Structure 1
Amino acid sequence: MEFSKRTKRTIVLLYCFTALPLMALLFLAFPSQPIDWLIFSFMFILALATTAIPFHIGATTIFLSQWVTVAAFLQYGAGVEMILVQFSILPMLFRVRFLTDLPYRILFSSWMFVLVSLVSALAAHAVGYQLGTTDIGMILIGASVFMFVSLTSNHIILYTRDRILGSKDKFFSRDALWDYTGSLITLPFAISLYVLQNEIGWIAFLLLGIPFLLVTYVVRMYNTVERANLALSKASAFGHEMADRLSANQIVDMFMKRVAELFPLDAIYIVDNLKGRYVVLRAVVDKEEVTIEVESESIQNSFIHSYFSRSEKHCFGKASEWREDAPDFLEKDMNSLLIVPIHRNKKTEGMVILSARKKYAFEKYQMDIVHLLSTYFAVSLEKAKYVHAAVEKSETCALTGLYNYRYLDKKLEIEQNRLDTNPHLYLSALMLDIDHFKQINDQYGHHAGNSVLKDFARLLKNHVPEDGTIARYGGEEFVILLPHMTKQDAAELGEKIRKEVQTTSFLIDSDLSKNRQDEIIYLTVSIGVSNAPEDTDETITMLRNADRALYIGAKQAGRNRVAEYNSN
């Protein structure tokens, strides 16, 4: 979390008026023993080395330097222990060295550890511990009390700080549990180091220190592999999850969401290449989806194009590595970047770009995980395209290209749900039937009839509003669904269609004429109109009402007319 200006001022005051006096107090007023500078040098080196090799359990970072600092307290007192702890801060802070408020974090950590050293030393001396003792019972008691009080007071200070800054984390969290577990592991090593160096001197640091560092390093490497395996496992699960999505939008949404959950990013972009022009297909910045309009040339002239051309992935640790060749859409305050190609049909179609304000936020293995996810992403999109094509084929009329009855039935169900949820809305239906269509087939042949149906369908499309639905109901019958349209407005639209059909010439190729020559014919159409909720509350009944109006009100009344449903 970021420190406010007020918090920064408070930290400076705390450090100046409490940390510095406490350091002097620990040196001058607390019990101490003469320092063997060779032993102290080994302690100093081991403390720094151990702190520089942390390892991770989940989101918790574990430092095991207490095995040296506790041994230093047991031997030389709180002053020497405090010095080692203060210098041990440096490797910890190196991990967050690019934060803008780093100086204040150093001062706060220094103040906190001085206070912790004071409280822990007071507690150990309160239970009777004396520096340099060889009583193993008192050594166990003193070391245990010092370590327990040190860890507990450290958590109390951090918990209080976070509460003041607005965090609502529990005091005894999972992180705290791992800290106590780490202390239980290091306590025997601290006691062993103290006892052994009193017996054999500096050789103890070689016998214990080198194996301890090696084991810590191996555990850290194993932990890194475990984290990579966990990420791979999650990536595989995400891949199956994306494969289950049927639409392209669902797949893109899922990809953006899961990548954001898996990696420490502040923004994610999908850059696509559509017929040679770059576009930012989707972008999420600070967990909010944003629309980005960017000139293709801006991306064409950036590092993105070079990696796109070579189909390469790359990880940038800081802004100076990419800022000079950056496209316009990347946020100016970003530092870390991870760029990975998206392959589709053995070609690079686009790029996935992850960015973070923190420097060196991404690890190399994460780049491979994103590449794996982008492969799942591309395959899922390809599958969705074929599924969409298959669904479209099953729901459209092959002759006219309009939706068929199967789709219409599904659409009526959707509209029914919409009307049930919003009773004040309207839905109108036009049922259209070409007059004397059988005569066209009988006189000119079925090929001519099909030609008429296709031309008639194209004419109807021009009259359907954007939110409307047009479908071939069967034979020469068609249905137009008109959301948000009153019965009167629908009847006026039907009359407009009727007049245009009556005056439109339809060119056909007659199969039944002797010379198979092109001919021009004219048509008329009969139309029935119904509305929900004016005529009924059910969409299926509305369609039947439009059908009834078509045959009774239009066909039986002479054809070539528009008839509204009348319940009387």
Structure 2
Amino acid sequence: MVIGRKKKWIIWLAWTVVVPASFLYASQVSPLPSSFNAGDFIILVLLMIPAALLPVIINQTPISFTQWIVLVVFLQFGLLAEMILTQFSILITMIRLRLSRDQYFRFPLNSAMFSAVSVLSGTVYYLLGGTHNPGASVDVSFFLLAFVYVFAYYLLNQLFFNFIHSFIYSVKISFFSKDLVWETLSLFVAYPIGVILYILYNSAGNISVLLVGIPVILMLLVLHNYNRASIMNEYLQKAVELGHRLTEKLKFDEVLEIFVKNVLKMFPANYLYILEVVDDERLEYIRCYEKGEFAEVKPPPLKKNEGIGGLVWSAKRGMLFHERREWQRMEKEGFPDDMESLLAVPMMKNNRVTGVILLGSKRKRVYDKFQLAIFDILCSYLAISLDNAKHYEKTKDESIRCPLTKLYNARYFHDKLEEIFEKLRNGEMPSVSLLLIDIDHFKMVNDTYGHQSGNEILCQMADLLKSIIQSKGIVARYGGEEFAVILPGYKKEEASSFAEYIRKTIESRSFVMYNDLAEVRRKLSVRVTVSIGVSAAPADTDEPMALLRCADRALYIGAKRVGRNKVAKYVI
């Protein structure tokens, strides 16, 4: 979690007050006893280290199982010794987490919180008559006071935890949550273990650490490894599910959207970059995710062996970096200054790299080797899914376009006309006009110069119509030398004026072709004219096919029969 600079200053200031005051109080109320054995204390400190480094994770909640050692030290050596042990445990935990610079405040925050918890829970113990007398006999009052101390420690810890999340992180969490249940259960496990270790320690000495402490640490190690295996299985299951979802999608952008959305849920990441190999020459960015949003400005392309992406492309294998200093010298991508951990994995298909994906975090050592393997599987899924989507979109595009002119074909044109008429009927669109454009004397071009020359005219006409119409409407090759244009929202007069503009533009343009029927093939420049029929709905009809017939009638009766090179409107 991220907090502002002001709150960080408050935390450090509070730490400089709370911790020294707490240690001063502890040294006055419960100093180290005269019988304090530094060797015995160090043994318990050494026992604390693996206990602190092996938290038990239950329902994704880390529970540090150290309270039993804290109880033994408190009962044996007093409050000051317990505080020293607790602060050492916090330091070990913070080192294990390898905090980034903006997270350093977590050490003084935890240090101050546990200092206050130690002082308050110890004070409760002393107010109820608790003492430190290791040689005294153990009776019911001892068990009760020990439990009161442990329960007070646990309760105060929960209260401070909720206060910190509310005041420091501005996050409200329920006090009675599932985490509280597991913390409570760990209390009832830690209490008897701590009491047993304390009693054995005073009767058998350091051998009790072997009899009780070592088995507990081994149990924590087993639970830690079991939890690790469970996490790996969970990642694998999510990876398989995501793979199935990716293969179900046949649109390029949908595949990318699902991949990014799910990867950011699966992995702790602040940054995600997806690069695609283009022409087997360079890596181009197709998605850049930074600090909660997609970046519109993409970095420049990378060549093979250039930057981390280029190295992954060349090596055909993933790379894992735990912190910035490991990858800083080799990167050319211009990553953000606060990025630390990095996963870099190639997208592979048929042993060929089709792209590279880079996943980054602000935290150090946030990724593990098994996450690299899982991410590698996901990238292979993505490579296959993107390739399938490209082939599907290409096939779909070819099925709705004229192979010669690359304009939409008649089938697509009819489908779009039906869609627009549906909007017209629902009141979503006031009107629609249709233009039928026919090239005048086109048969003469084919007969005089050859069909290849005619095809050249058709392609140049298609390009010209696309440049004129652009986003104003939909243009298609309707058949032979005929083109059709849908103009959504246009009334008949507006469409007629636009058609006249199209006719004049074509009339003034020179078309280049070759005379394929001459003995010597030579380049020619010719002028071409068109006749255009105009119809509109709902002015002329309320049916899509009838609108086509109206435009066709206007084209042949109103334009072709009266001399061609004209625009004619349908007249009822």
Identify the TM-score tier after normalising by the shorter chain. Answer: 0.7 to 0.9
What runs of 5+ residues in structure 2 fail to find an aligned partner? Answer: none
Whole-Å separation in 2 of the counterparts to 1:136 and 1:418: 86
Q: Secondary structure at the match of 1:312?
A: coil
Matched, 1:224 2:225: no
CA contact (8 A) 2:304 2:311 kept: no
Q: Which residue of 2 aligns with 1:157?
A: 160
Q: Deviations over 1:489-533 (max 9, x none)?
A: 5324433555647997988989xxxx9x99x99987543223457
Whole-Å separation in 2 of the counterparts to 1:417 and 1:163: 54
Tell me the amino acid that sits aligned with residue 161 of structure 1: I
Q: Deviations over 1:444-471 (max 9, x none)?
A: 69x9789857743641342132223222
Deviation at 1:127, TM superposition (A): 5.2
What runs of 5+ residues in structure 1 fail to find an aligned partner? Answer: none
Q: Which residue of 2 aligns with 1:562?
A: 567
CA contact (8 A) 2:534 2:569 kept: yes
Q: Secondary structure at the match of 2:101?
A: coil
Aligned mate of 2:290, from 285, 288, 292: 285
Tell me the amino acid that sits aligned with residue 26 of structure 2: L
Tell me the amino acid that sits aligned with residue 233 of structure 2: N
Deviation at 1:31, TM superposition (A): 9.0
Deviation at 1:269, TM superposition (A): 0.7
Q: Deviations over 1:26-62 (max 9, x none)?
A: 2322498643444323222112221022243344222
Matched, 1:114 2:119: no
What TM-score results when the alignment is normalised by the length of structure 2?
A: 0.85
Q: Deviations over 1:137-174 (max 9, x none)?
A: 43443333322221221122122222223223333344
Aligned in 2, Cα 1:123/1:534: closer, same or farther, shift over 3 Å? farther
Q: Secondary structure at the match of 1:95?
A: helix
Count of equivalent residues: 560
Q: Secondary structure at the match of 2:470?
A: coil
CA contact (8 A) 1:549 1:563 kept: yes
Aligned in 2, Cα 1:301/1:70: closer, same or farther, shift over 3 Å? same
Farther off after superposition, 104-113 or 372-381? 104-113
Whole-Å separation in 2 of the counterparts to 1:422 and 1:315: 57
Q: Secondary structure at the match of 1:331?
A: coil
Aligned in 2, Cα 1:60/1:550: closer, same or farther, shift over 3 Å? same
Q: Deviations over 1:307-345 (max 9, x none)?
A: 321112111122222222221432233222211111234
Whole-Å separation in 2 of the counterparts to 1:155 and 1:361: 26
Q: Which residue of 2 aligns with 1:269?
A: 273
Q: Secondary structure at the match of 1:330?
A: coil
Tell me the amino acid that sits aligned with residue 187 of structure 2: S
Deviation at 1:294, TM superposition (A): 3.6
Q: Which residue of 1 aligns with 2:461?
A: 459
Aligned in 2, Cα 1:546/1:145: closer, same or farther, shift over 3 Å? farther
CA contact (8 A) 2:457 2:511 kept: no
CA contact (8 A) 2:465 2:475 kept: no
CA contact (8 A) 1:399 1:450 kept: no
Farther off after superposition, 138-147 or 422-431? 422-431
Whole-Å separation in 2 of the counterparts to 1:28 and 1:257: 56
Aligned mate of 1:210, from 207, 214, 234: 214
Q: Deviations over 1:381-418 (max 9, x none)?
A: 11112212332233234565432333223323554577
Matched, 1:356 2:361: yes
Deviation at 1:440, TM superposition (A): 7.8
Q: Secondary structure at the match of 1:272?
A: strand
Deviation at 1:265, TM superposition (A): 1.4
Q: Which residue of 2 aligns with 1:393?
A: 398
Q: Which residue of 1 aligns with 2:58?
A: 57
Q: Which residue of 1 aligns with 2:259?
A: 255
Q: Secondary structure at the match of 1:168?
A: coil
Whole-Å separation in 1 of the counterparts to 2:142 and 2:423: 76
Deviation at 1:487, TM superposition (A): 3.9
Q: Secondary structure at the match of 1:340?
A: strand
Aligned mate of 1:312, from 293, 305, 317: 317
CA contact (8 A) 1:400 1:454 kept: no
Aligned in 2, Cα 1:295/1:201: closer, same or farther, shift over 3 Å? same
Q: Which residue of 1 aligns with 2:148?
A: 145
Tell me the amino acid that sits aligned with residue 223 of structure 2: V
Deviation at 1:182, TM superposition (A): 2.7
Whole-Å separation in 2 of the counterparts to 1:545 and 1:140: 99
CA contact (8 A) 1:526 1:555 kept: yes
Tell me the amino acid that sits aligned with residue 223 of structure 1: N
Q: Which residue of 2 aligns with 1:42?
A: 43
RMSD over aligned CA atoms reads 3.8
Q: Within 5 Å, give how 1:458-497 maps onto structure 2.
A: 458-464=460-466, 465-467=469-471, 468-473=473-478, 477-483=482-488, 487-497=492-502
Q: Secondary structure at the match of 2:97?
A: coil
Deviation at 1:227, TM superposition (A): 1.0
CA contact (8 A) 2:305 2:314 kept: no
Q: Within 5 Å, give how 1:354-393 maps onto structure 2.
A: 354-393=359-398
Deviation at 1:285, TM superposition (A): 0.5
Q: Which residue of 1 aligns with 2:329?
A: 324
Q: Secondary structure at the match of 2:86?
A: helix
Farther off after superposition, 476-485 or 144-153? 476-485
CA contact (8 A) 2:285 2:301 kept: no
Whole-Å separation in 1 of the counterparts to 2:29 and 2:297: 64
Report the identity percentage. Answer: 31
Aligned in 2, Cα 1:350/1:399: closer, same or farther, shift over 3 Å? closer
Aligned in 2, Cα 1:532/1:121: closer, same or farther, shift over 3 Å? farther
Q: Secondary structure at the match of 2:532?
A: strand
Aligned in 2, Cα 1:6/1:386: closer, same or farther, shift over 3 Å? closer
Deviation at 1:238, TM superposition (A): 1.1
CA contact (8 A) 1:399 1:454 kept: no
Whole-Å separation in 2 of the counterparts to 1:218 and 1:420: 69
Q: Which residue of 1 aligns with 2:83?
A: 82
Farther off after superposition, 371-380 or 172-181? 172-181
Whole-Å separation in 2 of the counterparts to 1:359 and 1:289: 23
What TM-score results when the alignment is normalised by the length of structure 1?
A: 0.85
Q: Within 5 Å, give how 1:425-436 maps onto structure 2.
A: 427-433=432-438
Aligned in 2, Cα 1:200/1:288: closer, same or farther, shift over 3 Å? same
Aligned mate of 1:347, from 320, 345, 352: 352
Q: Secondary structure at the match of 2:374?
A: helix
Aligned in 2, Cα 1:398/1:130: closer, same or farther, shift over 3 Å? same
Matched, 1:336 2:341: yes
Deviation at 1:247, TM superposition (A): 1.2
Q: Deviations over 1:184-235 (max 9, x none)?
A: 3322322221222233221111011111111111211111121111111111
Q: Which residue of 1 aligns with 2:535?
A: 530
Deviation at 1:536, TM superposition (A): 6.8
Aligned mate of 1:183, from 183, 187, 192: 187
Aligned mate of 2:242, from 229, 238, 245: 238
Whole-Å separation in 2 of the counterparts to 1:322 and 1:440: 69
Q: Which residue of 1 aligns with 2:196?
A: 192
Aligned in 2, Cα 1:372/1:422: closer, same or farther, shift over 3 Å? farther
Tell me the amino acid that sits aligned with residue 65 of structure 2: L
Aligned in 2, Cα 1:523/1:325: closer, same or farther, shift over 3 Å? closer
Q: Deviations over 1:525-562 (max 9, x none)?
A: 54322345766787666545534544554467676532
Whole-Å separation in 2 of the counterparts to 1:310 and 1:505: 50
Aligned in 2, Cα 1:418/1:156: closer, same or farther, shift over 3 Å? farther
Whole-Å separation in 1 of the counterparts to 2:395 and 2:292: 34
